[in-house]
Structures are given as structure tokens and as C-alpha cells.
């Protein structure tokens, strides 16, 4: 049971990245390939806030959310707004990811920095026959709650329904009076703030290292593909699937197989259901 708990914990991190991808996908019908770097920046800000500045818990979360939200705002104005077309956005956000990787190395270097837990502790408990640390358990619960809240908000609030309308037909939403640019900007910044405020939860699991963004970006995208593009519950399940496959294949097959098995599972799922587990095809009359 311990490898399962470990897989769910790292899967929760992948799910957070996948949710950020999906929020931007719903708003822009494209992906922000720098989102994993935003989460990485949140982890480093957590390290600074807890180790260097010794800030209280509430101020640590506030600093992480504000810092990463500001970076997301700047990215939207530089990498998204001036460029037209989803394919161009993929290139510009990939450039933003590379830039954030470089900035992180300039500020903090390449060393691995241990991030202390701000909620819970690093001590482990026995749960359902397996060992899990309290901070990992908090991370798993947090991602489930976050997914539920975002899903509920998107289906029950006017703003959430407007975003879904934008995802379906951006021009039609504009004609219906929806302020498309403002709403899309709000979704983009919200994804950044979410990446920031979850940094204190992710940091103790992943540590703060300049290669974290690149590592999370690939697995987060695989989680999106498995769960289905635009689906928040799909992002959650996809993240857990990736994490469990990594953990269990590493335990049973060896350290050389986790990444290989993740892509084997991805290919099998896409062969059986090309839109992902929770994705759906759109029918249009031409």
C-alpha cells in the first residue's frame, strides 16, 4: 500500500499541473507550456518565504499566490496577447518556460533546496496498511478539494458558464456580450495564482530545483491527455494514473521503467479512447 500512497502523492502534483493546463485551454483553446514553470517558481518562493524570510503560514501562501499571479499576468501580456493563433501561443509559452527556467537558475542556482512543510509535518503515519507522510496526505486531499471546487464553480456560476461558452465558440460568446479578453485574462491569472498558492503543498514533495518545471511539464501534459482536454475531473484522474503507474512500475519493474510504462499506458488509453477518459468529441454542422 505504501507505493500506492506515494504514487497518489506525486500524482496529485501532476494533477495540479494538468488542471492549470486545462484552465488555460478552456479560456484560450491552447496550452500554457510555461505553467509547470509557474508552479516551480511557487515552490522556490515557498523556500524563500519559509527558510530565508521566515514568514508565517498565511503570509507564505499570500506571497506565493501574489508573486506567481504577477508573473502569469506579465506572461499573458507578453506571450499570449500580442500573438494570434493557438499554434503561435504554443511557441511563445514554450519560450516563456525557457525564460523562467533561466531566471530561476540565475536567482537560486542549480542546487536542490529542501522545502519544509508549512501544513502538517514530514512525519509518517500508517493508513490502510501503508505508510504516508502527513504533508503528502494533505496534498492528496487538497487536490481533490480544489478539483471539486473548480468543477462546481465552472458548472454553477455565471463566470464558469461563460468560460465554457468561450471554449465552445469564442466568437458566439463575444456576440452574446461576454467580455472574452477580460475573462480569458482572469482565467490565465487565476491559473497562475493557483500554481503559486499550491507551491507550499508541492515543495515538500518535489523540493526546489531548477529542473522541476521541465519534469512536471511533460507528466502534466500526459495527465491531461489521459484524462481528456478541458476536463478538470479528468486532470485529477489522469494525474493519479500517471503517479500510480510511475510508483508501481518503479517498485515492480525497476527504476528504468516508470517513464516507459507511463507512455505505454498513455498509448493504450488513446487507442481505446482518443479523447481521453473524460474527453468528448464535438460535432459541428458544416
Rounded to two decimals, the pTM is 0.90
Q: Where are the beta strands (DSSP E) in the chain?
A: 124-127, 130-133
CB 279 within 8 A of CB 223: no
Which tens digits make up the pLDDT trace of 140-190? 999 999 999 998 988 888 877 777 777 776 767 776 777 778 888 888 999
Distance of alpha carbon 268 from alpha carbon 5, whole angstroms: 24
CB 32 within 8 A of CB 88: no
- Domain total of the chain: 1
Distance of alpha carbon 204 from alpha carbon 56, whole angstroms: 16
Residue 23 lies inside a defined structural domain of this protein = yes
Residue 139 lies inside a defined structural domain of this protein = yes
Distance of alpha carbon 28 from alpha carbon 23, whole angstroms: 9
Residue 156 lies inside a defined structural domain of this protein = yes
Structural domain of residue 118, as residue ranges? 2-213
Of the candidate ranges 59-68, 96-105, 206-215, 277-286, the one whose mean pLDDT is the lowest: 277-286
Residue 263 lies inside a defined structural domain of this protein = no
Residue 98 lies inside a defined structural domain of this protein = yes
Residue 269 lies inside a defined structural domain of this protein = no
Residue 185 lies inside a defined structural domain of this protein = yes
Residue 15 lies inside a defined structural domain of this protein = yes
Amino acid at each position: 500500500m505504501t507505493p500506492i500512497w506515494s504514487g497518489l502523492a506525486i500524482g496529485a502534483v501532476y494533477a495540479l499541473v494538468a488542471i492549470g493546463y486545462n484552465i488555460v485551454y478552456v479560456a484560450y483553446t491552447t496550452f500554457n507550456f510555461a505553467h509547470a514553470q509557474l508552479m516551480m517558481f511557487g515552490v522556490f518562493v515557498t523556500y524563500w518565504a519559509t527558510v530565508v524570510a521566515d514568514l508565517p503560514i498565511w503570509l507564505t501562501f499570500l506571497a506565493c499566490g501574489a508573486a506567481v499571479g504577477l508573473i502569469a499576468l506579465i506572461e499573458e501580456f507578453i506571450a499570449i496577447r500580442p500573438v494570434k493563433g493557438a499554434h503561435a501561443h504554443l511557441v511563445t509559452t514554450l519560450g516563456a518556460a525557457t525564460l523562467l527556467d533561466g531566471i530561476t537558475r540565475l536567482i537560486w542556482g542549480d542546487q536542490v533546496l529542501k522545502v519544509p512543510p508549512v501544513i502538517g509535518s514530514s512525519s509518517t503515519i500508517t493508513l490502510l496498511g501503508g505508510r504516508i507522510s502527513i504533508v503528502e496526505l494533505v496534498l492528496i486531499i487538497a487536490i481533490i478539494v480544489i478539483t471539486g471546487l473548480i468543477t462546481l464553480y465552472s458548472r454553477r456560476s455565471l463566470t464558469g458558464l461563460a468560460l465554457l461558452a468561450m471554449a465552445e465558440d469564442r466568437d458566439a460568446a463575444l456576440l452574446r456580450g461576454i467580455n472574452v479578453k477580460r475573462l480569458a485574462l482572469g482565467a490565465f491569472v487565476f491559473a497562475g495564482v493557483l500554481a503559486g498558492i499550491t507551491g507550499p503543498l508541492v515543495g515538500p514533495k518535489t523540493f526546489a530545483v531548477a529542473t522541476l518545471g521541465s519534469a512536471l511539464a511533460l507528466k502534466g501534459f500526459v495527465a491531461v491527455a489521459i484524462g481528456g482536454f478541458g476536463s478538470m475531473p479528468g486532470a485529477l484522474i489522469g494525474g493519479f494514473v500517471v503517479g500510480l503507474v510511475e510508483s508501481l512500475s518503479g517498485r515492480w519493474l525497476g527504476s528504468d521503467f516508470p517513464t516507459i510504462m507511463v507512455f505505454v499506458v498513455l498509448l493504450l488509453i488513446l487507442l481505446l479512447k482518443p479523447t481521453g477518459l473524460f474527453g468528448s468529441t464535438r460535432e459541428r454542422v458544416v
